[in-house]
Amino acid sequence: MKKHYLLTPGPTPIPPEISLKEALPILHHRTSEFAAIFSDVAEGLKYVFQTRNDVLILASSGTGAMESSVVNLLNPGDEALVASCGNFGERWVKILEAYGIKPQVIAAEWGDVVNPAVIEAALKANPKIKAVYTTFTETSTGVANDIAAIGAIVARTPAVLVVDAISGLVSQEFLTDAWHVDVAVCGSQKGFMLAPGLAFVSASEKAWKLVEQARLPRFYWDWRKMKKSLATKETPFTPPVTLIVALQEAIKMIKADGIENIWKQSSLLARAARAGMKAIGLELFGQRPCEVVTSAKVPEGMEGGKIVKMLREEFGVSIAGGQGALKGKIIRFAHMGYIGKADILVGFACLEMVLTKLGYKLEKGKAVAAAEDELLKG
């Protein structure tokens, strides 16, 4: 028997209140009972997104919602800009290219953030750019882009701003309307504390104008169909009923805590995670660290994958390693959604043991103590 501790940046642990909802018998989706739940979650999502616009609910992982943000906004031959600083930024490029759009790419080094002034200059140089695609919390490296600054820049141009907020929204402050984000994309398996399988998209009036004119191929992802059926408290196709019932519970819990308090909690956990890493000599990775995941460099001569594997196999603790060029070079500790203070302490205690077993010199208890000091300040 092994107890599992999920400290990965998606999927994240699910509170028992939500798991129980996921176990209920299936409702039929064309019933007044389901319609009431559906309209309740559609309203609740506006609070979580901090938007007055409709939030569409998609049956897909987050990437499906990203793809929908390409096919619903653009025409063949359109100009688009991708501002990327990691694996998920690069995903925008791949999706656009799959639809024949050759985007202009502003790529920051992995670990850095996108410079808003570079986006401003690119938009000035090419007024034909119709959409700017970027990432809020770049989960692959652990940094957060300054979406408020980018939003202020894009809002002054004819372009729309599309933000992958899949790992950050809910857990880290994200103000869709106040930051002029035209399209925000999220998924169910990170801050929302749900099983994977749902994605969410909010779209501004400026974005809807493009949706009406878009000519890239779309059928399942067509936002117009989703918006039309939202008005009758339905989805165009069979929705993941179970997940939507569970989403109602998740939104209830988020509202009960108050989203501002959730943001504060992640920020506290992030400070504790950074302090813990530093206390045992692990160098933090990345500029402008986000508050949903903490990345640290793997000690010289060590293989990051080994640390991740040993933590999981010996202690049931799952953390993430590096992706792409960072494979084996960093470890990533998540602190979003249902991950709490005690989980951080468990994670560090086990990490200390694994590093010791692998021959790294550290004073046991130091990471835990440093994290405790931060948590006590909160």
What character string, x for contact with ligand PLP (CB under 6 A) and - otherwise, covers 177-206?
----------x-------------------
List b or e across 84-108, with b for residues whose CB sees 16 or more CB atoms inside 10 angstroms. Answer: bbbbbbbbbbebbeebebebebbeb
Q: Give the residue with the Cβ less far from ligand PLP, 149 or 195.
A: 195
Element (H, E) at 49: helix 32-49
**Six-digit token string for 18:** 């939500």
61 near ligand PLP, judged by CB under 6 A: yes
Instruction: Write out the binding residues for ligand PLP, residues 209-228 only, by CB under 6 A.
Output: none
Question: What is the nearest approach in angstroms of ligand PLP to the Cβ of residue 365?
Answer: 32
- Residue 128 Cβ vs ligand PLP, minimum distance, rounded to whole Å: 27
Instruction: Give whole-number Cα distances, 377 to 201, 210, 271, 372, in Å.
Output: 36, 48, 10, 9
- Tokens 């903490």 correspond to 294
The mark string for 9-38 relative to ligand PLP (x by CB under 6 A, - otherwise) is xx----------------------------
- Cα atoms found within 13 Å of the Cα of residue 18, Cβ hemisphere only: 24
Using rule CB under 6 A, residue 96 touches ligand PLP: no
| Shortest Å, Cβ 27 to ligand PLP | 24
Q: Which of 34, 38, 49, 88 binds ligand PLP (CB under 6 A)?
A: 88
Contact window for ligand PLP (CB under 6 A) among 70-78, 92-100, 159-167, 235-243: 159-167
Q: Which of 12, 84, 134, 135 binds ligand PLP (CB under 6 A)?
A: 135
As measured in angstroms, the least distance from the Cβ of 139 to ligand PLP is 3
Instruction: Count CB-CB contacts under 10 A for residue 115.
Output: 17
Q: Quick one: which segment of 163-171, 214-222, 253-261, 367-375 binds ligand PLP (CB under 6 A)?
A: 163-171
Q: Which is nearer to ligand PLP, 69 or 167 (CB)?
A: 167
Q: Which residues contact 179 (CB under 8 A, 6 or more apart)?
A: 147, 148, 151, 152
**Choices 57-65, 119-127, 349-357, 369-377 (CB under 6 A): range interacting with ligand PLP:** 57-65
Verify binding: residue 115, ligand PLP, rule CB under 6 A: no
* Residue 8 CB, nearest approach to ligand PLP (Å): 10
CA 349 vs CA 167, 309, 310, 341: distances in Å: 25, 16, 13, 13
Buried-state track 266-290, b at ≥16 Cβ within 10 A, e below 16: bbbbbbbbbbbbebbebebbbeebb
Contacts (CB under 6 A) with ligand PLP, residues 279-338: none
The yes or no reply on residue 151 touching ligand PLP (CB under 6 A) is no
Is position 62 an interface residue for ligand PLP (rule: CB under 6 A)? yes
- Decide: helix, strand or coil at residue 109: coil
* Complex with ligand PLP: residue 55 or 371, whichever CB lies closer: 55
374 binds ligand PLP (CB under 6 A): no
**CA-CA distance, 355 to 282, in Å (whole number)?**
11
Distance CA 17, CA 5 (A): 17
Give the SS3 label for residue 103: coil
d(CA 229, CA 339): 35
Q: Where do contacts with ligand PLP occur on this chain (CB under 6 A)? A: 9-10, 61-63, 88, 135, 139, 164, 166-167, 187
